[in-house]
Amino acid sequence: MIGRLNHVAIAVPDLEAASAQYRDALGAKVGAPQDEPDHGVTVVFIELPNTKIELLYPLGEDSPIAGFLEKNPAGGIHHVCYEVEDIIAARDKLKEAGLRVLGNGEPKIGAHGKPVLFLHPKDMNGTLTELEQV
């Protein structure tokens, strides 16, 4: 069911410094910051040959990243995202297997304009897991 690893999201305390580090020290291809007001984040994509790293920084009040950075002031890996072909079929299969879907259980439109869901980290080995329909 799950397909490609779409991205690994890393919350960072300083988006400019993190972008510069990936670009200059690690020599990676780093995009421009994109504000995603609907998601309360500013994101920078690091394009690797086979997947992406998504740097996350809080945007506005009530950002879902703010609390994470309070607990992890140096930053940290926030979630992984797997691609699925049919997010409703995936959700129903995972719910049957006893996994909890966050929120009201309905897909939302994610930062890439595609339907996404998040699985409860406690049900996924402590790993916040996003599913994205591609």
Active site residues: 130
**C-alpha dist (Å) from residue 26 to 31, 44, 50, 111:** 14, 15, 16, 25
Residue 80 in the binding site for its own copies (CB under 8 A): yes
Q: Which of residues 30, 33, 82, 113 is near its own copies by CB under 8 A?
A: 82
Q: Which of residues 31, 99, 112, 133 is near its own copies by CB under 8 A?
A: 99
93 SS3 class: helix
Residue 3 in the binding site for its own copies (CB under 8 A): yes
**C-alpha dist (Å) from residue 120 to 20, 23, 103, 126, 132:** 32, 32, 10, 8, 15
Residue 41 in the binding site for its own copies (CB under 8 A): no
Residue 70 in the binding site for its own copies (CB under 8 A): no
- From 25-33, 35-43, 58-66, 106-114, give the range in contact with its own copies by CB under 8 A: 25-33
Residue 98's DSSP bridge partners are none
Residue number, 104 or 125, with CB nearest to its own copies? 125
Backbone angles phi, psi at 102, to 5 degrees: -75, 160
Residues 6 or more apart whose CB falls under 8 angstroms from that of 94 comprise: 101, 119
Whether residue 11 contacts residue 59, with contact meaning beta carbons closer than 8 Å, is answered with no
Residue 28 in the binding site for its own copies (CB under 8 A): yes
Footprint of its own copies (CB under 8 A): 1-5, 8, 10-13, 18, 21, 24-28, 48-51, 53, 55, 72, 74-77, 80, 82, 93-94, 97, 99, 121-122, 124-127
